[in-house]
Structure 1
Amino acid sequence: MKARQFALLTLLAATIGLVGCQSGQKETAAKSAAPMETADVTVTKVNLGTVPLTVVVPGAVVPDEQAQIASRLMGFIHDLNVKEGDHVKKGQLLFTVDPTDVKSQIAQAEAAYRQAKAALDDALADYERFKKLYKEASVSKQQFDKVRLQYQVAQQNLAAAKAAFDQARAQLKYAHVKAPFDGVVVKKMAANGDLAAPGKPVLIVENLETMSVQTDVAEDLYARLRIGDEATMWIDGVDHPVKGVIYTMVSAADPKTRTHTVKLSLPKDLKNINSGTFVRVSFKVGERQAMMIPAQAMVVRAGITGVFVVDSDNKAHFRMIRPGRRIDDMIEVQAGLSLGERIVVSPNNKTLMNDEPVKVVKTLDSDKGA
């Protein structure tokens, strides 16, 4: 079907050229057969070039640092004044949790500590008294051992009570929840007055200064990739492709999707990119040979894409082509040309007429194409 369409378009291109030629003949006759001026042109030869074989997979922009901010305490939220989009600094207070319950626990732990300390003081006094009596043989060894054991238990009880007291006091600092790094609040999931609970996120903060692209690839593609490989990426909202370098490859496959996570760096000069932005990532997995021409050689006539081919008589003929992929400043030609043919690449190819005589003033290196 494509070959038939191309043949029909080729016929149309020839018709356009013929009409142009007839028009030119009539115009020439009207001017008393005045000789046609010869256009100076630059040409290059159609040559083989390298076209990369690629696999394109979807991905997304992700932050290198992301934190789900939750309270370690159970309590009502207060002083939650940040909103989504706000920038926060490391150590900045994000919200507080009502410390009433914690203070109650501290008071209980302190009372238990004081009670254990008083019990130890009594046990120490008994121990010292019975130690003296035992030396005087006024009490039995069994009685002394019992008092000594009570003293040792009192020491252990005091140590446990002190640890509980210290832990309760330490919990108080968790009532003030602070930002772990410089970043932006990207999601707010609670409000003042809500009940905070351990493990229940209140905010999500991301560091938008260090972003990456994350994609999940199948096993066969993963096996071809290496850390340090470069990929081409198209990011939604960015009007040009950017280069990224693989810096993380997760060897363990996701048990559900059977894919591997791959992360790529983003250019440092790329600004105002939001996390979650859709990305198409193109990985090079090989290459092939194809006919290539400079992109500047292509012209469009009557909606048909083609080039001007210079024959052995130095006449330029419009030839329809079927272009393929663009690689930098070169275009793959899938049909319409043959290797070694000369094509016009100078800027005046936009004004050339079909069958117009030309003077080749420069031939470019076909390997460079420019």
Structure 2
Amino acid sequence: MNVLSKSIWVGVVILGLVGCSDSPNGETAVAHSYQQIAAPVGQVTLGTIPLKAVVAGAVVPDQKAQIASRLMGYIKDFDVKVGQKVQAGDLLFSIDSNDVNSQILQAQSAYQQALAALEDAKLDYDRFSKLYKEDSVSKQQFDKVSLQYKVAKENLVSARSGFNQARSQLNYANVKAPFDGIVVEKLAVAGALAAPGNPVLVLENLTSLSVRTQVSEDLFAVLRNGDEAEVRIDGQPQPIMATIYTLVSAADPRSRTHTVKLSLPSVVNVNSGTFARVGFKRGERQTMMVPKSAIVNRSGIEGVFVVKDGTAYFHMVRLGESIGNRIEIKAGVNLGDQIVIDNNQSILNGDKIIAVSKTDDIKGAA
């Protein structure tokens, strides 16, 4: 290599060294003027987080009914649709009453015949009673007529009962809502044959909802009526506190789990059948916690500013669970570290921190 080539190479190396910076990131040096920022400072402290056993559940209505007809007959009209709200007493559907009307006519005819038979039996009884007193008929003849009169009275009572029952069946031709609710399912169509015990539609009251879940035997043993649990429901942005009101002591023979029901607040707007996760408290654990306002996000990295000798240093942290306005720190700081707990969005690594109370007027100073 000649002298000229060596000179050029040395010059390139020198220029490269001049262009490099002291930045740990290896970036081109940029002059940074450190700020003095007034900000509240607090310690990383211990906090308590409840230990939870989380189980799957579902939202269920407290009132649910499968509506069936008490009459055998064809469904004539449907007066409601799926999703429709109804009030107690509203007409849901009606049954063709032709068969019922025929039964009423038959029962009425039987009643009239029994009434006529009783009138004849009474005339015979009155006549034979007079003759028996005059010794014109034997006791055996009088007893026979008396028995016929008694049977006629009993037949009239039976016929009257049958007539009244037949007429009452006509009321069942119009099926009405037993409570306020929403029609959630139709199990038959107009023209189909309805029979007692065969559901025609399903009605639910969604103003009073619960969460139903199955829990293991060891968890069931520590639960009590009135205990609260955290419920997370699909579609709800925040967890909901629910209260246990039913603990079924009999375990399912297959899964060996117990049914638990929790009442939801009436303000919750959710559909029945929605998936839920129920967190039952099972003790507590201690962990490092800081105010949520202490967390800053820099380019997708979450961290806090630790203050040492009045200088702020950014520490990347690993976050855990949140409790109210505080959040768990799993790694990245030590217990007792002094950190900036608010007014930290404009702070840069190396800035000088003037510690103030959080209630003070906080302003940045150049």
Alignment of 1:312-327 (within 5 A): 313-327=309-323
User: Once the 2 structures are TM-superposed, how far is the Cα of residue 254 of structure 1 from its aligned partner?
Assistant: 3.4
Give me the whole-angstrom Cα distance separating, in 2, the residues matched to 1:200 and 1:77.
12
Q: Which has the larger radius of gyration?
A: 2
Would the aligned equivalents of 1:77 and 1:196 in 2 still touch at CA under 8 Å?
yes
Give me the whole-angstrom Cα distance separating, in 2, the residues matched to 1:286 and 1:117.
78
Q: Which residue of the other structure, out of 331, 335, 341, is the alignment partner of 1:339?
A: 335
Q: TM-score, normalised by structure 2?
A: 0.84
User: Once the 2 structures are TM-superposed, how far is the Cα of residue 323 of structure 1 from its aligned partner?
Assistant: 1.8
User: Once the 2 structures are TM-superposed, how far is the Cα of residue 20 of structure 1 from its aligned partner?
Assistant: 5.5
Residue of structure 1 equivalent to 2:301: 304
Give me the whole-angstrom Cα distance separating, in 2, the residues matched to 1:66 and 1:363.
53
Give me the whole-angstrom Cα distance separating, in 2, the residues matched to 1:191 and 1:337.
67
Residue aligned with 2:183, SS: strand
Residue of structure 2 equivalent to 1:213: 211
Give me the whole-angstrom Cα distance separating, in 2, the residues matched to 1:340 and 1:21.
29
Residues 56-83 of structure 1 show CA distances to partners (whole Å, capped at 9, x for unaligned) of 1222222222221111111111121321
Give me the whole-angstrom Cα distance separating, in 2, the residues matched to 1:125 and 1:276.
69
**More helix per residue: 1 or 2?**
1
Would the aligned equivalents of 1:20 and 1:354 in 2 still touch at CA under 8 Å?
no
Residue 92 (str. 1) matches residue 126 (str. 2):
no
Residue 50 (str. 1) matches residue 48 (str. 2):
yes
Alignment of 1:7-22 (within 5 A): 19=23
Residue 40 (str. 1) matches residue 35 (str. 2):
no
Residue 135 (str. 1) matches residue 133 (str. 2):
yes
Residues 185-240 of structure 1 show CA distances to partners (whole Å, capped at 9, x for unaligned) of 11112221111111111111222222222222222222222222222222211222
Give me the whole-angstrom Cα distance separating, in 1, the residues matched to 2:276 and 2:171.
42
Letter in 1 for 2:347: L
Would the aligned equivalents of 1:87 and 1:184 in 2 still touch at CA under 8 Å?
yes
Residue 357 (str. 1) matches residue 352 (str. 2):
yes
Residue aligned with 1:53, SS: strand
Letter in 2 for 1:352: I
Give me the whole-angstrom Cα distance separating, in 1, the residues matched to 2:35 and 2:107.
104
Residue aligned with 2:197, SS: coil
Q: TM-score, normalised by structure 1?
A: 0.84
Alignment of 1:262-301 (within 5 A): 262-271=260-269, 273-301=270-298
Give me the whole-angstrom Cα distance separating, in 1, the residues matched to 2:348 and 2:145.
118
User: Once the 2 structures are TM-superposed, how far is the Cα of residue 53 of structure 1 from its aligned partner?
Assistant: 0.6
Give me the whole-angstrom Cα distance separating, in 2, the residues matched to 1:198 and 1:85.
24
Residue aligned with 1:72, SS: coil
Q: Where does structure 2 lack aligned partners over 5 or more consecutive residues?
A: 1-21, 360-366
Give me the whole-angstrom Cα distance separating, in 2, the residues matched to 1:20 and 1:318.
14
User: Once the 2 structures are TM-superposed, how far is the Cα of residue 84 of structure 1 from its aligned partner?
Assistant: 0.7
Would the aligned equivalents of 1:44 and 1:363 in 2 still touch at CA under 8 Å?
no
Would the aligned equivalents of 1:20 and 1:353 in 2 still touch at CA under 8 Å?
no
Would the aligned equivalents of 1:189 and 1:203 in 2 still touch at CA under 8 Å?
yes
User: Once the 2 structures are TM-superposed, how far is the Cα of residue 244 of structure 1 from its aligned partner?
Assistant: 1.8
196-205 vs 355-364, greater mean Cα deviation:
355-364
Residue aligned with 1:282, SS: strand
Residue aligned with 1:347, SS: coil
Give me the whole-angstrom Cα distance separating, in 1, the residues matched to 2:334 and 2:132.
116
Letter in 2 for 1:353: L
User: Once the 2 structures are TM-superposed, how far is the Cα of residue 361 of structure 1 from its aligned partner?
Assistant: 2.8
User: Once the 2 structures are TM-superposed, how far is the Cα of residue 363 of structure 1 from its aligned partner?
Assistant: 8.0
Alignment of 1:68-87 (within 5 A): 68-87=66-85
Give me the whole-angstrom Cα distance separating, in 1, the residues matched to 2:224 and 2:23.
56
Give me the whole-angstrom Cα distance separating, in 2, the residues matched to 1:81 and 1:351.
64
Residue aligned with 1:337, SS: coil
Give me the whole-angstrom Cα distance separating, in 1, the residues matched to 2:254 and 2:156.
52
Letter in 2 for 1:347: N
Residue of structure 2 equivalent to 1:196: 194
Give me the whole-angstrom Cα distance separating, in 1, the residues matched to 2:341 and 2:277.
33
Would the aligned equivalents of 2:91 and 2:175 in 1 still touch at CA under 8 Å?
yes
Give me the whole-angstrom Cα distance separating, in 2, the residues matched to 1:363 and 1:191.
67
Stretches (4+) displaced over 6 A: 21-24
